Structures are given as structure tokens and as C-alpha cells.
Chains A and B, each alone.
Chain A
Amino acid sequence: DIQLTQSPSFLSASVGDRVTITCRASQGISRYLAWYQQKPGKVPKLLIYDISTLQSGVPSRFSGSGSGTEFTLTISSLQPGDFATYYCQQLNNYPLTFGGGTKVEIK
């Protein structure tokens, strides 16, 4: 199974901060890496797919990058609505797997 390790698992930041979350895969996953945002009590929302492609309707302050086994999600200027938990997911191999999540909280 491909393990996805997200870091940090918890992040405290202020509105306007630049935030970077890392997702490391235990083996190569080609381009099949996605990022989701989940707010408390809500359904996960797709933000980015294929490493760096922004899902329709997602603000441009979100961006994804990386290759091979190391990937990042960057929020260029954190907004109040961005405080949530973020998950990476690989879709290259079965079983499909998610990272453990990164909770972004208000500083």
C-alpha cells in the first residue's frame, strides 16, 4: 500500500499568512495526487487534482506542486474561510489512500 505522510499535522496561522502543507508518498504516484478541504461537520471538498490543477470555483490563492513522492499545497494568503483540515489523496494505486490530514487553526 502507498502511505501518504502529511506534515505538519497541525498548523496555527494568522489571516494573511502564507501556508504550506507537505504530503510525502512512500512510492511514486505519477500525477495522481489530489487535495481536499474539510470544514468541521462538512463534506470534503476537492481543491486540486493532478498535483496542480485547480478544481473549478476554487480560489487562486490555493496552489499545488511537486513530483515523484513529494507534494505541497500552498495557500498564498490565508483567509478566514480557509481554517479547516486538509487531506492529500493518491489515486495511482489500489488501495486508494489519504494522508492523515493537516488541521489549520487560527493563531
Chain B
Amino acid sequence: EVQLVESGGGLVQPGGSLRLSCAASGFSFSDHYMDWVRQAPGKGLEWVARARSKANSYATEYAASVKGRFTISRDDSQNSLYLQMNSLKTEDTAVYYCTRRSGGSWTFDYWGQGTLVTVSS
């Protein structure tokens, strides 16, 4: 059974940092692109970042709203995905979901339960 379990969310002051983790199991983690998607309270979905697989040189992509502040990374030996978030802003407040890109299509076929990040003074 595919499982994605996020952790690391919490309350942080503006300008602060936080590191999110996503523990994956039940599939060959190293074969899949992995993404972070966020959802601000009462709002829609926003794609945040992507980490490609080793076969694609672990290349990364970012939304403009987080580029230069957030860093996505992965450790295939630990079946884990990370999101280092620096210089946090109040508008970064959201539930952050770890997602798996399907091997057969380009869609997000599995999502974690999410971890809430609150940026507030």
C-alpha cells in the first residue's frame, strides 16, 4: 500500500525557517518524481515544487512564489522527500501535501494527509 506521511509543520514567525519531511512507503520511491502542493486555509491548490528522479538527475522545479526561498530535496536511501522553507511569509501559511507523480501518467496519483504550516507573529 502506497503511503506518504508528512511531518515538520508548525507555527513559525515571519522570516523564520521550517523543514518539512515526507516519508514514503509501499512503492519504488527512487523511480518517481515527487512534488509538494499547498493549500492555504479556505483556498485552492497551489503547486510548490518538484524533485525529479535519479534517472532525471534529481532536477528540481519551483513555483515563482517560493523560488529562492524554498528548497526541495530527496533521499532515496531513506525513501524521503524534504522541503526546506526559509524566509517564510504570512502568505506561506497552508497545509502542505507531499504527492507522488504517477509512473504511467503525469498526474499526482497519491497524496499525503498534509502538514499545516502557520506563519504568524
Considering the chains assembled together, what is the distance between the CA atoms of A44 and B1 in angstroms?
Answer: 18
* Among B21-29, B80-88, B99-107, the stretch in contact with A: B99-107
Interface SS of chain A: helix, strand, loop or mixed?
loop
CB-CB < 8 A to B62: which residues of A?
95
User: Which of A44, A49, A91 is close to B111, meaning CB atoms less than 8 Å apart?
Assistant: A44
> Which chain A residue shows the least CB distance to B109?
A46
CB distance from A1 to the nearest CB of B (A): 8
Q: Is the CB of A46 within 8 A of B107?
A: yes
User: Which of A1, A32, A87 is close to B45, meaning CB atoms less than 8 Å apart?
Assistant: A87
CB-CB < 8 A to B50: which residues of A?
94, 96
CB-CB < 8 A to A53: which residues of B?
105
Contacts A95-B47, A98-B44, A98-B47 given; indicate if A34 touches B112 (C-beta within 8 A). Answer: no
List the count of A-B residue pairs having beta carbons below 8 Å apart.
58
CB-CB < 8 A to B37: which residues of A?
44
CB-CB < 8 A to A50: which residues of B?
105, 107
Q: Is the CB of A49 within 8 A of B106?
A: yes
Residue A72 at the chain B interface, CB threshold 8 Å: no
CB-CB < 8 A to A22: which residues of B?
none
User: Which of B64, B106, B113 is close to A91, meaning CB atoms less than 8 Å apart?
Assistant: B106
Residue A97 at the chain B interface, CB threshold 8 Å: yes
CB distance from A39 to the nearest CB of B (A): 13
Q: Is the CB of B44 within 8 A of A100?
A: yes
CB-CB < 8 A to B64: which residues of A?
1, 95
Could you list 6 A-B pairs, sorted by A, with CB under 8 Å? A34-B105, A46-B108, A49-B102, A50-B105, A50-B107, A87-B44
Please provide the chain B residues from 71 to 121 with a CB less than 8 Å away from any CB of chain A in the complex. 97, 102, 105-109, 111-114
Q: Is the CB of A49 within 8 A of B47?
A: no
Q: Is the CB of A96 within 8 A of B109?
A: no
Considering the chains assembled together, what is the distance between the CA atoms of A49 and B106 in angstroms?
Answer: 8
Contacts A32-B106, A49-B102 given; indicate if A43 touches B97 (C-beta within 8 A). Answer: yes
User: Which of A34, A95, A99, A100 is close to B107, meaning CB atoms less than 8 Å apart?
Assistant: A34
Considering the chains assembled together, what is the distance between the CA atoms of A34 and B105 in angstroms?
Answer: 10
